[in-house]
Structure 1
Amino acid sequence: MASRPRSAASAILFLLLFSCDVLISLAGQSYYDILQVPKGASDEQIKRAYRKLALKYHPDKNQGNEEANKRFAEINNAYEVLSDSEKRGIYDRYGEEGLKQHAASGGRGGGMGMNIQDIFESMFGGGGRMEEEEQIPKGDDVIVDLDATLEDLYMGGSLKIWREKNVIKPAPGKRKCNCRNEVYHRQIGPGMFQQMTEQVCEQCQNIKYEREGYHVTVDIEKGMQDGQVVNFFEDGEPKLDGEPGDLKFRIRTAPHDVFRREGNDLHTTVTITLVQALVGFEKTIKHLDEHLVDIGSKGITKPKEVRKFKGEGMPVYYNTKKGDLYVTFEVLFPSSLTEDQKSKIKSILG
């Protein structure tokens, strides 16, 4: 009889320890918080929230940004759990510790080891595993070529752009929306059935499009390259019963009076006199941030000679390094010489 109290005490102790673990696991940011959805969110809400956040924090769009990569991993982990009804149920009742114990006991799916890339591909069509009817309709993306000055691309800056787009507004009346095909069977004879498909629609608030304008501030980061995109998610064309497209500004380097850009390098041409080419010269050029670069020489400079000035090029995007500056020297020859000048030159160089 003495073993029963000890057995009951052990069970109570186990429950207390388990409850503490659950409370600790719930003390941090929940999976619902990570996906920015309420606890009672529908599967569709979870899917839409994941799609938006995964696109925003995808490593391809945040190269070198460790914080974004960490956020992307958290988003995928949260979606893996909340998109699975069994795992979600365990998580809602017992938290992360419950999921760990479920995986350790050989629960369905063998644990939490699904590859992040598999989740992303299944969500966005890369792996072909997502049913077409499950994809969320999306409006058109708006792509705008944006001319950025070399100064902004060298030092960083921002551009304020006027944007006009269609905005969905409520309108009188009702309309058909959320239409879907439903399958049912109709008996056409004894023991004979025919499969039928019928379109079913809901009645939703009517809407209309109105044109609205506003300013968008586009941040130009140091070292951005031609073709790089600054994305404003869901700021493109709207879509009835779907998500808006994205507004994308595609960077294009504007022509510059002094410098020409090639990747991370800068090129410029400097003209010197024949005397300077022969005896040397002192000269500086003003850079994009107005610091002076010494390009002088004490020796002979040949026509079309190119000299490299290391580290005086463009900043490398998301890096502390810089490219190089290449200066091409043009030598300005005199248009004519007097007989006396010719004689002196012959005596010196002959």
Structure 2
Amino acid sequence: MSPMAHRRTKLLFLFYALFCALPAIAGKSYYDVLQVPKGASDEQIKRAYRKLALKYHPDKNPGNEEANKRFADINNAYEVLSDSEKRSIYDRYGEDGLKQHAANGGRGGMGMNINDIFSQFFGGGGGEEEEEKIAKGDDVVVELDASLEDLYMGGSLKVWREKNVLKPAPGKRRCNCRNEVYHRQIGPGMFQQMTEQVCEQCQNVKFEREGYFITVDIEKGMPDGEEIVFYEDGEPIIDGEPGDLKFRIRTAPHDLFKREGNNLHTTVTITLVQALVGFEKTIKHLDDHLVDISTKGITKPKEVRKFKGEGMPLHLSKKKGDLYVTFEVLFPSSLTEDQKKKIQEILG
């Protein structure tokens, strides 16, 4: 092979590597991954990244492959959205545009690695940095009833949201007030330290009520009390940043199953004959697959049997809890004398 052909082969291999270096994120946009709107500011993106990266950092989730994957996805999304050029390409052409950009000599997926990005915020150690003292609006916490089916298989809910929105108003106002220290000379070689409040002139604002739909993604196995956070979508505040909107998961009641942590419980009624001689029976699970609960043995009233791995999926894990079935035995309301005699002959 000639040197020129060898060089072309190496370039083709490099372009292929660049294409592979920017993985797709399970069908979600980078904005969805960071839980920010498409028009989010750079500061919003930074804050969202900081909070999510801390939550899913491998040091806080040892041995959890799903959390590690989520952490990598978060960093991939931030690498693109924090770079104005990449973000512009992504907004116009999507991931294919980024790959083409990389193939044409752009940085593509060859920028900072995960540790470099994380170190920008946390010094590389994985610890939380001290938050800046910025006035913040109230967080809004909404108890969200999620169906057992959505919590078992994953799903999404559309929720109507109404909130106050800051709009421009006529006139000016004092804003961004701060105390500034200066020194005043009060004599030869003598100075007095003074503090003075300094303010700027800003556009007046007013609150207006607006409503819109929010799509809340329910992940498999989310436990009760888990919060899905939409950063800066809480109550706004003048001269500060909005609070967060938090949907707190609560398992809705179900007709057949009851959830207890990662386990499911249900009750099945059988006849007295079935309790004595056995039975063949299945129950339909939350995703419609059938669970065989048949037995050839005797079943006692209130007996509980465990079916391993048929419970709820564990959040951010491939494991599942167990299903516990309690058997109720339906006794006959009355017996004829002949039936009583036969039962005595059999069981006596």
Common fold by TM > 0.5: yes
Does the aligned pair in 1 maintain the 2:57–2:67 contact within 8 Å? no
Task: Report the RMSD for the aligned CA atoms in angstroms.
Answer: 3.2
Pairing 1:121–2:128 present: yes
Amino acid at match of 1:265: N
- Deviation for aligned residue 1:297: 1.4
Q: Which residue matches 1:69?
A: 71
Write out per-residue CA displacement over residues 78-125 of structure 1, whole angstroms, 9 at most, x where no aligned residue. x9xxxxxxxxxxxxxxxxxxxxxxxxxxxxxxx99x84347x53333x
**Structure 1 residue aligned with 2:292, among 294, 304, 321?**
294
Identify unmatched segments of 5+ residues in structure 2: 1-20, 23-40, 83-118
- Deviation for aligned residue 1:56: 3.2
Q: Which residue matches 2:219?
A: 221
Does the aligned pair in 2 maintain the 1:186–1:194 contact within 8 Å? yes
**Structure 1 residue aligned with 2:334, among 314, 326, 336?**
336
> Could you tell me how far apart the structure 2 residues matched to 1:71 and 1:158 are?
20
- Deviation for aligned residue 1:157: 1.0
Amino acid at match of 2:166: I
- Structure 1 residues 179 and 255: alpha-carbon distance in aligned structure 2, compared to 1, 3 A threshold: same
- Deviation for aligned residue 1:58: 2.5
Q: Which residue matches 1:256?
A: 254
Pairing 1:54–2:62 present: no
Residues 218-227 or 187-196, more deviating: 187-196
Amino acid at match of 1:338: T
Write out per-residue CA displacement over residues 227-275 of structure 1, whole angstroms, 9 at most, x where no aligned residue. 1111111111112222111111111000001000111111001111111
Write out per-residue CA displacement over residues 174-195 of structure 1, whole angstroms, 9 at most, x where no aligned residue. 0111110001223344544332
- Structure 1 residues 197 and 46: alpha-carbon distance in aligned structure 2, compared to 1, 3 A threshold: farther
- Deviation for aligned residue 1:141: 1.1
- Structure 1 residues 137 and 326: alpha-carbon distance in aligned structure 2, compared to 1, 3 A threshold: same
> Could you tell me how far apart the structure 2 residues matched to 1:212 and 1:156 are?
29
> Could you tell me how far apart the structure 2 residues matched to 1:122 and 1:347 are?
80
Does the aligned pair in 1 maintain the 2:56–2:68 contact within 8 Å? no
> Could you tell me how far apart the structure 1 residues matched to 2:195 and 2:42 are?
28
- Structure 1 residues 260 and 46: alpha-carbon distance in aligned structure 2, compared to 1, 3 A threshold: closer
- Deviation for aligned residue 1:47: 7.1
> Could you tell me how far apart the structure 2 residues matched to 1:173 and 1:288 are?
59
Amino acid at match of 1:248: K
- Deviation for aligned residue 1:67: 4.6
Amino acid at match of 1:269: T
Residues 199-208 or 292-301, more deviating: 292-301
Q: Which residue matches 1:240?
A: 238
Aligned length: 268
Residues 289-298 or 181-190, more deviating: 181-190
- Structure 1 residues 68 and 209: alpha-carbon distance in aligned structure 2, compared to 1, 3 A threshold: same
TM-score (norm 2): 0.69
- Deviation for aligned residue 1:161: 0.4
- Deviation for aligned residue 1:52: 3.5
Structure-to-structure mapping, 1:249-288, within 5 angstroms: 249-288=247-286
Q: Which residue matches 1:324?
A: 322
- Structure 1 residues 174 and 187: alpha-carbon distance in aligned structure 2, compared to 1, 3 A threshold: same
> Could you tell me how far apart the structure 1 residues matched to 2:288 and 2:212 are?
34
Residues 45-54 or 286-295, more deviating: 45-54
Write out per-residue CA displacement over residues 29-61 of structure 1, whole angstroms, 9 at most, x where no aligned residue. 9xxxxxxxxxxxxxxx98775333211332348
Amino acid at match of 2:305: R
- Structure 1 residues 239 and 67: alpha-carbon distance in aligned structure 2, compared to 1, 3 A threshold: farther
Q: Which residue matches 2:38?
A: none
Q: Which residue matches 1:32?
A: none
Residues 287-296 or 56-65, more deviating: 56-65
> Could you tell me how far apart the structure 2 residues matched to 1:193 and 1:165 are?
51
Does the aligned pair in 2 maintain the 1:57–1:71 contact within 8 Å? no
Q: Percent identity?
A: 70
Q: Which residue matches 1:144?
A: 142
Structure-to-structure mapping, 1:87-236, within 5 angstroms: 115-117=123-125, 121-124=128-131, 134-236=132-234
Amino acid at match of 1:346: Q
- Deviation for aligned residue 1:71: 6.5
